Structure 1
């Protein structure tokens, strides 16, 4: 089991994964941790924030 990732590492990894620019070193670190739950939860939250921001921008523009 790898060491537990810090919140900043998880957020950075999720953002990089959303854009498809994750480095090999970070990918290995992420997959070395046994529980993917922190990455899944962070990803769902970040996608929700992006969708919410888009809805606010569209409603503001129309």
Structure 2
């Protein structure tokens, strides 16, 4: 197994694909070959927080 440096854009695409559930097997294998899981975890937490924030904003606008 080789370790590959992943860019911020690749991490974002991988996490977003995982959120939606449309990630190819090739991409998943590439993600698991990265050096560290920390960028994926941080990006996932930030995207989840942004998603919840957007939902709260939409609900507050609708209920206004």
State the TM-score, normalizing by the size of structure 1: 0.93
Q: CA RMSD in A?
A: 0.9
Q: Report the 3-state secondary structure (helix = DSSP H, G, I; strand = E; otherwise coil) of the residue aligned with 2:36.
A: coil
2:49 is aligned to 48
Query: Structure 2, unaligned stretches of length 5 or more?
Result: none
2:59 is aligned to 58
Instruction: Determine which structure has more spread, i.e. the larger CA radius of gyration.
Output: 2
Q: Output one character per residue of 1:13-39: Cα deviation in whole Å (capped at 9) or x when no partner.
A: 001001111111110110001310000
1:8 is aligned to 9
Query: Structure 1, unaligned stretches of length 5 or more?
Result: none
2:18 is aligned to 17
In the TM superposition, structure 1's runs of 4+ consecutive aligned residues that sit over 6 Å from their partners are none
Q: Report the 3-state secondary structure (helix = DSSP H, G, I; strand = E; otherwise coil) of the residue aligned with 1:34.
A: coil
For the 8 Å contact 2:4–2:35, the answer to whether it is kept is: no
